[in-house]
């Protein structure tokens, strides 16, 4: 078997969930495990989260919720977006809690159920992606309330810039709380409000409401570099491979496709069996990307290929089978998902989600 894998520290997940749950108490914790638990493995992460204080889980797709149910998970599972109307029977069969924001999907749910099901109404207060508008929200809430098969159990919204713009975040919070007041004035008794994502939960007590939905934080990553570093999260992902070949190249030699990088001096070059088909961005070698071998940072020696990378180890001895760390700690050194995000001009969310199924997950703790 190819010696490239991802180690997932479930004890770190438990620590992160517990830390965030304590931070937001008495608000409930909803652990977001969509996209295969942000690349960490949805079922093990969901199980660890529930063990550590989360009372809800959240997913993006019906099939993600079904996978959790098939694994025996019984906790409430929030579906974060409306699926096609034709999926309404599956939502009900698998006991998922649907988000609603169109009358059409509400009608599909009501027509597919024989007893009342709880729904969460999403109001778009400024993300402008999905959700009913504040102007239409009250009418849709009344529409839900009038359906015998639907129980309006919660209202929620999603924060667009909680990690960088406090003023805009407070405008969103004020908007959704204004809607709740208006709904109460209409005689609608809505027992739950949830607003905050990880950034909102960390940075705004006003956004915590009755429940928070934490995604990136439960995996030990902060929503942005330097955002509330005093909150002690522990990264749960370590990306590992091994050296598969070592050869000595002369100064001036250019390795890999495109011959883009020149060896600055004679040195050892290690081939490592992991590439862009696994989630290592092809341009990582062009932007200063590094890995750890022997406890030292080593630059890539050329372009990332589909299945392999080449690493410039200089004059340091390296052997076939030596451990290579792409993300994580080795000795006193560490390469983080934030390092990758900085090199590639993106966010840590994308980095951890990009590692695909060719990289088996090994769960620890």
CA 331 to chain centre: 27
Pseudo-torsion of CA 207, 212, 213, 214, nearest 10°?
90
- Please give the positions annotated as active site: 34, 257
For residues 162 and 196, the answer to whether their CB atoms sit within 8 Å is yes
Query: Could you tell me if 235 and 221 are in contact, meaning their C-beta atoms sit under 8 angstroms apart?
Result: yes
Tokens representing residue 113 in the block = 């159920």
The total number of residues shown for the chain amounts to: 365
Q: Give the whole-angstrom CA distance, residue 317 versus residue 70.
A: 49
Separation of alpha carbons 273 and 275, rounded Å? 7
Q: Strands 56-59 and 323-330: what pairing?
A: unpaired
CB 319 within 8 A of CB 332: no
Cβ neighbours, 10 Å, residue 177? 18
What residues have CB less than 8 Å from 227, skipping those under 6 apart? 163, 199, 202, 203
Unique residue bearing structure tokens 């949805």? 42
In this structure, what token pair is assigned to residue 29?
């914790």
**Cα–Cα distance between 150 and 153 in angstroms, integer?**
9
The CA distance from 151 to 119, in Å, is 6
- Going by C-alpha positions, the residue among 253, 177, 246 that lies closest to residue 208 is 177
**Kind and range of the H or E run holding 139:** helix 134-145
Question: How many whole angstroms separate alpha carbon 365 and alpha carbon 108?
Answer: 42
């Amino acid at each position: 078997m190819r010696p490239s894998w991802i180690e997932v520290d479930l004890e770190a997940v438990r620590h992160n969930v517990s830390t965030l749950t304590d931070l937001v108490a008495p608000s409930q914790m909803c652990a977001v495990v969509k996209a295969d638990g942000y690349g960490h493995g949805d079922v093990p992460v969901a199980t660890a989260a529930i063990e550590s204080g989360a009372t809800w889980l959240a997913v993006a797709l019906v099939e993600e919720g079904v996978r959790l149910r098939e694994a025996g998970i019984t906790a409430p599972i929030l579906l974060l977006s409306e699926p096609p109307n034709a999926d309404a029977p599956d939502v009900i069969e698998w006991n998922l809690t649907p988000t609603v924001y169109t009358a059409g999907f509400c009608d599909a749910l009501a027509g597919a159920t024989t007893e009342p099901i709880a729904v969460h109404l999403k109001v778009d207060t400024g993300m402008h992606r999905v959700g009913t508008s504040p102007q239409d929200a009250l009418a849709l809430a009344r529409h839900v309330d009038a359906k015998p098969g639907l129980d309006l159990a919660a209202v929620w919204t999603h924060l667009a810039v909680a990690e960088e713009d406090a003023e805009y975040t407070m405008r969103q919070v004020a908007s959704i709380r204004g809607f709740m007041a208006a709904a109460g004035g209409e005689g609608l008794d809505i027992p739950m409000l949830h607003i905050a994502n990880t950034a909102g939960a960390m940075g705004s007590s006003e956004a915590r409401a009755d429940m928070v939905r934490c995604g990136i934080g439960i995996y030990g990553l902060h929503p942005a570099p330097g955002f509330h570093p005093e909150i002690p999260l522990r990264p749960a992902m370590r990306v590992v491979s091994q050296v598969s070949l070592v050869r000595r190249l002369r100064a001036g030699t250019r390795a890999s496709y495109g011959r883009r990088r020149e060896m600055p001096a004679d040195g050892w070059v290690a081939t490592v069996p992991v590439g862009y088909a696994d989630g290592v961005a092809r341009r990582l070698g062009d932007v200063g990307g590094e890995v750890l071998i022997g406890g030292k940072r080593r630059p890539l020696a050329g372009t990332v290929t589909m299945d392999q990378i080449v690493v410039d180890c200089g004059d340091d001895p390296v052997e076939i089978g030596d451990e290579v760390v792409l993300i994580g700690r080795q000795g006193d050194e560490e390469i983080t998902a934030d390092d990758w995000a900085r090199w590639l001009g993106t966010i840590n969310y994308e980095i951890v989600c990009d590692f695909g199924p060719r990289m088996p997950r090994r769960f620890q703790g």
